[in-house]
Amino acid sequence: MMDKRTFLRTGLLATATAALNPFKLFANSNQTEIINEETFDFLADGPFTLPDLPYQFNALEPHIDATTMEIHHGKHHAKYVSELNLAVEKMAYKSMKIEQVVEAVKPAETKVRNNGGGHLNHSMFWKMLRPGESGMETGRIGQLLNTKFGSMDKFKEQFNTAATARFGSGWAWLIVNPQGGLVITSTANQDNPLMKNVVGKDYGYPILGLDVWEHAYYLKYQNRRPEYIGAFWNIINWDEVNKNYEAGMKKFGKRV
Ligand code: MN3
């Protein structure tokens, strides 16, 4: 019997190796089963847990393929959760909600910053997407974006620019700032706009976000990030964006 730490380390190492080489992962199905078992055994008893995807892995096809979703959720997101659980073991963060952790984290608390951000970013991201052609938003948030940016197409253009221009790994966001304004921004790595001590003047409540890490699109789109960004507009859950907007406004004491 391996003790828990050895068991965990073995699992994480296998997961990390698989993440670096997903093609090899699928070439050996025995290895896949072992990795899954170890990853999920550990996740069972940390303060933070991996949420279920609200749809099937293949639900977002053809825009995001099933294999990407399976690895993205089951390996990448799962690893942020595991690493976060380890990082907070001896910290007050372990009894906080993930939103509170992210709001309080300090720039030098690298492990909590990267893995706490990774956990919250992905938890929000899965819900911001939905199967079926979503079309452009015409409801409440659509009206506000029209007013703020001139048209939905202009909003889309500026958001695409933020997502394309983010060098290396990171996220593009639409946020509500503390004044109640809608702002397009982007963050590096797994930073989240709620990280007050990290993002400075770009602080706000994220209402729409796009993961532009290569792991989010490389299997289907390879180096064609703009094509992936274009596909994103077909699968946005605008009901969730509206809900996030209300939550952000409430947080900053603004009337919707
Ligand atoms: Mn990701």
Distance 78 CA to ligand 1 centre (A): 11
Distance 199 CA to ligand 1 centre (A): 19
Looking at the domain assignment, is residue 209 inside a domain?
A: yes
Distance 205 CA to ligand 1 centre (A): 19
Distance 211 CA to ligand 1 centre (A): 6
Q: Are residues 9 and 105 in the same domain?
A: yes
Distance 217 CA to ligand 1 centre (A): 9
| CA dihedral over 86, 92, 97, 101, signed as positive or negative | negative
Q: Are residues 9 and 47 in the same domain?
A: yes
Which residue bears the tokens 């947080």?
A: 251
H helices of the chain, in order, are 4-20, 22-27, 29-43, 66-71, 78-87, 98-104, 110-128, 140-149, 152-165, 196-199, 218-221, 225-232, 238-251
Distance 229 CA to ligand 1 centre (A): 14
Whether the CB-CB separation of 142 and 214 falls below 8 Å is answered with no
Who's near 236: CB < 8 A, 6+ residues apart?
128, 129, 130, 134, 137, 208
Cα R_g (the chain), whole angstroms = 18
Looking at the domain assignment, is residue 256 inside a domain?
A: no
The confidence score (pLDDT) of residue 46 equals: 77
Looking at the domain assignment, is residue 108 inside a domain?
A: yes
Q: What is the pTM of this model?
A: 0.83
Q: Are residues 17 and 120 in the same domain?
A: yes
Q: Are residues 196 and 84 in the same domain?
A: no
Q: Are residues 144 and 238 in the same domain?
A: yes
Looking at the domain assignment, is residue 163 inside a domain?
A: yes
Distance 83 CA to ligand 1 centre (A): 15
Q: Are residues 48 and 79 in the same domain?
A: yes
Per-residue pLDDT of the chain (256 residues; tens, 9 = 90+): 334 443 444 444 444 444 444 443 443 333 333 334 334 444 435 799 999 999 999 999 999 999 999 999 999 999 999 999 999 999 999 999 999 999 999 999 999 999 999 999 999 999 999 998 777 777 899 999 999 999 999 999 999 999 999 999 999 999 999 999 999 999 999 999 999 999 999 999 999 999 999 999 999 999 999 999 999 999 999 999 999 999 999 999 999 8
Looking at the domain assignment, is residue 55 inside a domain?
A: yes
Residue at 72: amino acid letter: H
Distance 255 CA to ligand 1 centre (A): 33
Distance 171 CA to ligand 1 centre (A): 9
Q: Are residues 103 and 149 in the same domain?
A: no
Distance 60 CA to ligand 1 centre (A): 15
Surrounding ion ligand 1 within 5 Å at CB are 211, 213, 216
The DSSP letter of residue 52 is: P
Per the structure, the count of domains in the chain is 2
Query: How far is the C-alpha of 103 from the C-alpha of 106, rounded, in Å?
Result: 9
Distance 122 CA to ligand 1 centre (A): 6
Distance 76 CA to ligand 1 centre (A): 7
Full domain range(s) for residue 223: 140-251
